[in-house]
Amino acid sequence: MRTLKEELNEQIPRLRAELHDLVQRGGSTIVSEVTLSQVVGGMRGVAGLVCDTSTVEPDKGLIVRNIPISKLSARKPEEMFYLLCTGRLPVARELSALEEELHRRSAVPAYVWDTLSAMPADSHPMTLFSMAILALERESVFHRRYEEGMHKEEYWEAALEDSLAILAKLPTIASGIYRIHTGKPAPVSSDTTLDWGADYARMLGLADSTGEFANLLRLYLTLHCDHEGGNVSAFTCHTVGSALSSPMLAVSAGMNGLAGPLHGLANQECLHFVLEIKEKFAGVPSPQQLSDFIWARLKDGAVIPGYGHAVLRVTDPRFVAFHAFGERACAEDETFRIVDRLYAVTPGILQQHGHAKDPWPNVDAISGSLLYHFGLKQFDYYTVLFGVSRALGMCAQLILNRALGTPIVRPRSVTTEQLKGIVGSERRVA
Ligand code: HAX
């Protein structure tokens, strides 16, 4: 039995030695070449940073520390955090120790609520969420100890301390934002007898007599916990953290990226699409009606929300896990049945259409419809839920990067004039 800190303490000297050895032996090995299209195209596909917490394989989907996400869907989010940080799942006593650590830190300072309640009522929930994490910077152990002259070998310990403080408070903060946003009575406090997901479900205040909503939330938080290092929110968090900004500053910055429509907001657009179908056909359309509807949309040049992916080339295993949950918990729900029918009809059409490299559903094709079924109907809140989950990965990545002494991120930029010169002469920038 080892606490998370003890396990990291055990592993970190070996991880440092391995990395040092790798750089000594292969420091000048070429890992990735960069074309001009990649330079002007968001660095897509350029291998330019290390992330050991997870990887996304085109034919397998998300793999967390060598375990496919399909094999992890029954795990609690807290277990995922231990796994992300250490590469192994905790045994029962290690998990209880981590849960205890989180409970101990769950109280949210009053000034955070004062900050949020000073904002206009129509502020976006993601803005409030990012602000709340930012406000917590006042509590940062990393910040304080850095000012006191902390040795760089101890950075990871302070990063772990701040990460636990952030994660412990997120369900209370996120549910408080939901309550503020929906005009419910004041935020409620954490119940230290419940696990992270169940406590979050309880504090949201939705009816859950069967406990299935808590199950869904746990599943949601587990499935979204990480998606390697190069996506906008993870990369932003990593970049800000690399300046030795505290985890509060770094995670808040990551959330601002997640709030973008091309990243974390996609799930609400997918649900809009499903509800549009439900309204247009006054229920679940027949396969033929759905097929005609999709073809008409494609002919108009519109995309089919929830289908396609930048990396994946199979049905997203997170979609499969949610689908299995829906089959069990709400198979007769009309919204779920439309999602199911879209899954039966859409991939074949996209294959015939021939544009999308990936005709299969991604996780956003289904997550919103399940939340909607259980009464979480504020679409603009969905990204906060995503953010609570993704904070697990952001924090794990920050801890490991501080342990390994990952230097400040500083890629080189080039001017368009320089690019013109390179194209003209096939010269490379020195
Ligand atoms: N419907 C119709 N056409 C599609 C399509 C879809 N779902 N997905 C891709 N295409 C089209 C693209 O528009 C592109 O068309 P043009 O060649 O005419 O420009 C062509 O297929 C090639 O695109 P791609 O290489 O297959 O896809 P990208 O890597 O460029 O984009 C996207 C990936 C997820 C953005 C894209 O598939 C899409 O827009 N899907 C619908 C929106 C969606 O589901 N978003 C959630 C993504 C999940 C996620 O990562 N969340 O964080």
Q: Tens digits of per-residue pLDDT, 6-21?
A: 999 999 999 999 999 9
Residue 301 has pLDDT above 60, yes or no: yes
| Closest Cα to atom 4 of ligand 1 | 356
Longest dimension (CA), the chain: 70
What pLDDT does residue 403 have? Answer: 98
Residue 185 has pLDDT above 90, yes or no: no
Contact indicator for 175, 214 with CB cutoff of 8 Å: no
Q: What's the gap in Å between 180 CA and the centre of ligand 1? A: 35
Share of the chain above pLDDT 90, in %: 93
Residue among 52, 263, 333, 353 flagged as catalytic: 263
The alpha carbon dihedral of 294, 297, 298, 304 has a sign of negative
Domain covering 266-373 assigned CATH 2.40.50.140 in the classification: no
- Give the Cα separation of 396 and 7 in Å (integer): 13
Annotation marks residue 181 as catalytic: no
**Binning pLDDT at 50, 70 and 90, where does residue 426 land?**
low
pTM for the whole structure: 0.95
Q: What's the gap in Å between 357 CA and the centre of ligand 1? A: 8
| Closest Cα to atom 9 of ligand 1 | 356
| Closest Cα to atom 47 of ligand 1 | 309
Residue 27's CB: how many other CB atoms inside 10 A? 7
Q: 364: Cβ–Cβ under 8 A, 6 or more apart, which residues?
A: 266, 267, 269, 270, 305, 306
**Pair of tokens at residue 21:** 């050895």
Q: Of 229, 174, 231, 239, which Cα lies nearest the Cα of 204?
A: 174
Annotation marks residue 227 as catalytic: no
Residue 428 has pLDDT above 70, yes or no: no
> Which CATH number does the domain 87-260+384-404 belong to among 3.40.50.300, 1.10.580.10, 1.20.1250.20, 1.10.3720.10?
1.10.580.10
**Binning pLDDT at 50, 70 and 90, where does residue 186 land?**
confident
Ligand 1 site, CB within 6 A: 263, 266, 298, 303-310, 355-358, 362, 364
Residue 187 has pLDDT above 90, yes or no: no
What pLDDT does residue 429 have? Answer: 58
What pLDDT does residue 136 have? Answer: 98
What pLDDT does residue 430 have? Answer: 55
Q: In this predicted model, what pLDDT tens digit does every residue of 240-259 receive, in sequence order?
A: 999 999 999 999 999 999 99
What pLDDT does residue 184 have? Answer: 86
What pLDDT does residue 134 have? Answer: 98
Q: What is the DSSP string of 97-163?
A: HHHHHHHHT-PPPHHHHHHHHTS-TTS-HHHHHHHHHHHGGGG-HHHHHHHTT--GGGHHHHHHHHH
Residue 131 has pLDDT above 60, yes or no: yes
**Binning pLDDT at 50, 70 and 90, where does residue 151 land?**
very high
Average pLDDT over residues 360-383: 95
- Give the Cα separation of 163 and 266 in Å (integer): 27
| Closest Cα to atom 3 of ligand 1 | 303
With vertex at residue 176, the alpha carbon angle to CA 104 and CA 82, rounded to the nearest 5 degrees, is 40
Residue 227 has pLDDT above 80, yes or no: yes
What pLDDT does residue 425 have? Answer: 77
Nearest ligand 1 atom, CA 355: 21
Q: In this predicted model, what pLDDT tens digit does every residue of 393-413 receive, in sequence order?
A: 999 999 999 999 999 999 999
Residue 72 has pLDDT above 80, yes or no: yes
Helix (H, G, I), strand (E, B) or coil at 54: strand
Alpha helices in 27-61 (DSSP H): 36-40
What pLDDT does residue 338 have? Answer: 98
What pLDDT does residue 261 have? Answer: 87
Annotation marks residue 364 as catalytic: yes
Select from 307, 312, 389 the residue to mutate for testing ligand 1; criterion: most ligand atoms less than 8 Å from CB. 307
Average pLDDT over residues 159-176: 98
Average pLDDT over residues 89-106: 97
Average pLDDT, the chain: 96
What pLDDT does residue 427 have? Answer: 58
Q: What's the gap in Å between 421 CA and the centre of ligand 1? A: 33
| Closest Cα to atom 42 of ligand 1 | 305
**Binning pLDDT at 50, 70 and 90, where does residue 267 land?**
confident
Contact indicator for 419, 30 with CB cutoff of 8 Å: no
Q: What is the DSSP string of 362-417?
A: -GGGTHHHHHHHTT---GGGHHHHHHHHHHHHHHHHHHHHHHTTPPPP-PPP--HH
Select from 43, 273, 303 the residue to mutate for testing ligand 1; criterion: most ligand atoms less than 8 Å from CB. 303
Residue among 309, 316, 323, 358 flagged as catalytic: 309
What's the Rg (C-alpha) of the chain? Answer: 22
Residue given tokens 């910077």 in the structure block:
137
What pLDDT does residue 269 have? Answer: 87
Q: What's the gap in Å between 361 CA and the centre of ligand 1? A: 11
Q: Of 223, 185, 184, 217, which Cα lies nearest the Cα of 199?
A: 217
Q: What's the gap in Å between 23 CA and the centre of ligand 1? A: 37
Residue 387 has pLDDT above 70, yes or no: yes
Q: In this predicted model, what pLDDT tens digit does every residue of 313-326 receive, in sequence order?
A: 999 999 999 999 99
- Domain-by-domain residue ranges, the chain? 87-260+384-404, 266-373
Q: Point out the least confidently predicted range of 9-18, 298-307, 421-430.
A: 421-430
Q: What's the gap in Å between 138 CA and the centre of ligand 1? A: 41
**Binning pLDDT at 50, 70 and 90, where does residue 70 land?**
very high
